[in-house]
Structure 1
Amino acid sequence: MSTKTNLFSEFEAVSSKQWKQQIQYELKGADYNETLVWESPEGIKVKPFYHLDEAAVNLHTHAPEKAFAIVQNIFVHDVKKSNERALDTLNRGAESIRFTIENESIIVEDLMQNLPLTATYYFNLPFLSVAYAKNLSDYATKHQAKFVLLVDPIGQLAKEGNWFESIEKDIEKLDTIAAASAVNFLSVNAGLYQNAGANIAQQLAYTLAHANEYFNRIPAIKHPITFEIAVGTNYFFEIAKLRALRILFNTLATEYHHNFECHIIATPTKRNKTLYDYNVNMLRTTTECMSAILGGANAVANLPYDALYHKDNEFGDRISRNQLLVLKHESYFDKVHNPADGAYYIETITQQLAEKALLLFKDIEANGGFITQLMEGTIQRKISESAQKEQELFDNGKEILLGTNKYPNKNDRMKDDLELYPFVKQNPRKTLITPIIEKRLAEKLEQERLAQE
């Protein structure tokens, strides 16, 4: 009869203090903190190793039980073509569709014709209509379809500088939708803050304060809130960001007796994407999607490698979808529930990000709340300051984008390949507040290169 033995029982445990002493010895007199400890933009000091005896407790982030869904984005202009594209996409591996509908003339019955009702359909509505929201809700109820409406008046204010109509009318309409809707109807566009250059602690705090405005103003929220998140390039910090968001939201929601988990749709950021050496964008989006999955996103919508400069096209969509299919079905990213649990580094970063974000959130609330600080320009100023620091690192070559400010291919030519304008668009208009502007790090450098072609 064989007996099972613990193979590691013969080895003595090594404490964190012993590890540090050995590292200090190997450094041959160099300063441990100056050599191996670095500080993140959020002010978090990152150590070279993390150990059980000084790790954060397990934070129980309540990751979703179901594996992440692969989402395809479709901008609806021609209903028939959008319907055909959605059906084709679902037949080729997508599991959810995010329709962007710009006006009320789009008839949901035509758009949904012959589409399988087993999939989840997100409806991004950059307008606010009680009647249209009711129509979508009624259709979902009648056909037992899984619809999620993405309606965000505060996000509209932050991004465009104006309400749809006014704060009173927008909140009144949203309250009416809340009372009557049978589907998830409310979203928070948190990707705006990341794409504009906010650091991670700011992103979390602004997202939480954004959601808190809805809790304060709309008492009839009886469905999960959907968070649209942009995922950046700092791999482990982005995993921790999504985990920290769940912890913070659950803490906030409990105060309002809201018992639903937040629903997270993650998309790679545009901030680090480039025109030149554009194939590197595929590498960036792959690691960003990995962060989203490991962080516990409910759904992931990948960003095509050519999204900056090409209109929607079958090849770009297929490649971006295949990246997620490989992660899910060949790399088995859907097989382990909450895989980051117990990783000392990620647990510690999660805790530190949550603590820093909570302090900032409390400061926002003590100074009038999120909308008040938008009106005063405080949020915009702080994001701009953070973005400028990151821009300076990029301009000085300390923040590296391979193929752009490091090892660029001087023979690349892009001027004749631009179908879309890839830079910040100037749109002079009268606004209530200064909008939060999304801007990529490489824009100035790319404009200079285009001018020299």
Structure 2
Amino acid sequence: MSSQLFNEFEPVSAKQWKQKIQVDLKGADYNDTLIWQSLEGIHVKPFYHRDDFNEAFKPIPGQPTDWKIGQHIFIDDETIANSLALDAIERGAEAIYFSSESEFDVKKVFQNFPFSKVPVYFDFSFLAEAFSLQLNQFLSEKNATVFYNIDLIGTLGTTGNWFHNLKEDHSILETILKQSPSENILQINTSTYQNAGANCMQQLAYALAHVNEYLNHFSENKELKITFKISVGGNYFFEIAKIRALRILYAALASEYGMPTDCHIVATPSLRNKTLYDYNVNMLRTTTECMSAVLGGADTIANLAYDGLYHKSNEFGERISRNQLLILKAESYFDMVSNPADGSYYIESLTQELTEKALALFKNIEAGGGFLHQLKEGIIQKKIKESAAKEQALFDEGKLKLVGTNYHINKNDVMKHELELYPFVKIKNHKTLLAPIVPVRLSEKIEKERIENE
């Protein structure tokens, strides 16, 4: 019956749709009225059609069949960190993302930890050979699934310095990789690029150039596994396409080195568009950003704490953020289909354009000496600042709206006495090898002025 029903309708071509739209515009220019240009230079059309594609869509390489709910936990007191991790798992967390600024007692942190069902991610702001080898041995004996997430270049870009120095850092990394050549040791942290203002195309190109430095250096290790940490912004469909494009680009690059073409992607919402005032809106922002991460194909998604911008870590804020993901998975059925974006003309088109533009920029970076060279020369920092300035100008002019901050402002909203954390850029006066890439929120200037006038 369904086939007979559809036989009653003639197919409509893209040309016919455009002609109909032009009639409805009653003389207004089609391009000026309905086509807009993104910060990546992509012209977004009012509709997309199968006529726009010359060949069938190819599957995204390494697309996961499911995704895990991650929970961030900072290790200060080992006993407390252990208690928080076990409680988070009991309440629905499926992966734990530990961060730490110093070495810790491994056995205390992982006491009674369910290694068989919960993978572990690390984010350390230090690099110590003996501790790393001890941690690796302990977790190997437990048959744990672990992502160590060491990123020397990412640390250099974010802080302006190596952990120790170039030679010592590489020596430690090589020792760790030699002990565990097939484990998840390396991470490419692209979150800094997004939070500092790089557009989607730049984030992809920098991620590719960033990882290329490692692939080139460790080209003899054909078992090398790569994890990407990304931040997801508020441009819903572009962010879905960005994650898909990242997998395509990495697979193409890794195949040239004869390495595994699948990569592991950990996603977290961006800080760039989060606001201090009317902070409840941040819940809406993080929800749609987590949705983009799921639909784009992230392996693990760790949400931002509900009030993490201005409050210290607390049970309520963490529970709200975790429950957002639980609702997406258990009540909104975002885990029922592994590739829901496949075949969407709009998303497929965005994926293709982002891939092509990012690849062109990557080739330009390589021709200019490579990512590390351009980072040391300040070229990458300059390009990110230029992109951030364009986005900031749109916000300052009111064309980019953040509800409660530069649009629908609640003048009675006050925050001065709520601040447990400093929510603005912190300038550290210390010597660096190069200018660091500094994350900046769009609303910081406005918020500082409002706090001063409260």
Give the TM-score, by structure 1 length: 0.97
Q: Could you say which residue in structure 1 is the equivalent of 2:47?
A: 49
Q: Is the 8 A contact 1:63 1:337 kept in 2?
A: no
Secondary structure of residue in 2 paired with 1:338: coil
Q: Could you say which residue in structure 2 is the equivalent of 1:439?
A: 440
Q: Could you say which residue in structure 2 is the equivalent of 1:270?
A: 271
Residue 59 of structure 1 and its aligned partner are, at CA, apart by 3.4
Deviation per CA, 1:203-248: give whole Å up to 9, x if none.
0000111100111122336242111100000000000000000000
**Residue 406 of structure 2 is aligned to residue 405 of structure 1:** yes
Q: Is the 8 A contact 1:171 1:218 kept in 2?
A: no
Residue 66 of structure 1 and its aligned partner are, at CA, apart by 3.1
Q: Could you say which residue in structure 2 is the equivalent of 1:192?
A: 192
In structure 1, C-alpha distance between the alignment counterparts of 2:17 and 2:89, rounded to whole Å: 51
Deviation per CA, 1:18-76: give whole Å up to 9, x if none.
00000000000000000000000010000000001113641321253431100000000
Matches within 5 A, 1:64-213: 64-104=63-103, 106-117=104-115, 118-181=117-180, 183-213=183-213
Residue 146 of structure 1 and its aligned partner are, at CA, apart by 1.2
In structure 1, C-alpha distance between the alignment counterparts of 2:94 and 2:261, rounded to whole Å: 23
Q: Could you say which residue in structure 2 is the equivalent of 1:217?
A: 217
Residue 125 of structure 1 and its aligned partner are, at CA, apart by 1.7
**1:207 partner amino acid:** A
Q: Is the 8 A contact 2:62 2:261 kept in 1?
A: no
Q: Is the 8 A contact 1:174 1:218 kept in 2?
A: no
In structure 1, C-alpha distance between the alignment counterparts of 2:27 and 2:318, rounded to whole Å: 53
Matches within 5 A, 1:306-325: 306-325=307-326
Residue 306 of structure 1 and its aligned partner are, at CA, apart by 1.1
Residue 94 of structure 1 and its aligned partner are, at CA, apart by 0.3
Q: Could you say which residue in structure 1 is the equivalent of 2:425?
A: 424
Deviates more, 1:417-426 or 1:160-169: 160-169
Deviation per CA, 1:186-210: give whole Å up to 9, x if none.
1011000000000111000001111
Q: Is the 8 A contact 2:311 2:421 kept in 1?
A: yes
Q: Could you say which residue in structure 1 is the equivalent of 2:35?
A: 37
Q: Could you say which residue in structure 2 is the equivalent of 1:25?
A: 23
Residue 260 of structure 1 and its aligned partner are, at CA, apart by 4.4
Residue 169 of structure 1 and its aligned partner are, at CA, apart by 2.0
Deviates more, 1:139-148 or 1:328-337: 139-148
**1:420 partner amino acid:** L
In structure 2, C-alpha distance between the alignment counterparts of 1:254 and 1:171, rounded to whole Å: 24
What percent identity do the matched residue pairs reach?
A: 57
Residue 4 of structure 1 and its aligned partner are, at CA, apart by 6.7
Secondary structure of residue in 2 paired with 1:288: helix
Give the root-mean-square deviation of aligned CA atoms.
1.2
Secondary structure of residue in 2 paired with 1:405: coil
Matches within 5 A, 1:232-247: 232-247=233-248
Q: Is the 8 A contact 1:126 1:151 kept in 2?
A: no
Secondary structure of residue in 1 paired with 2:402: coil
Residues matched between the structures, number: 450
Q: Is the 8 A contact 1:178 1:221 kept in 2?
A: no
In structure 2, C-alpha distance between the alignment counterparts of 1:6 and 1:108, rounded to whole Å: 66
Matches within 5 A, 1:345-424: 345-424=346-425
Q: Could you say which residue in structure 1 is the equivalent of 2:260?
A: 259
Deviates more, 1:291-300 or 1:143-152: 143-152
In structure 2, C-alpha distance between the alignment counterparts of 1:218 and 1:131, rounded to whole Å: 22
Secondary structure of residue in 2 paired with 1:428: coil
Q: Could you say which residue in structure 1 is the equivalent of 2:228?
A: 227
- Return 5+ residue gaps in structure 1 as ranges: none
Deviation per CA, 1:238-273: give whole Å up to 9, x if none.
000000000000000011111141100000000000
Give the TM-score, by structure 2 length: 0.97
Secondary structure of residue in 2 paired with 1:178: helix
- Return 5+ residue gaps in structure 2 as ranges: none
Q: Could you say which residue in structure 2 is the equivalent of 1:15?
A: 13
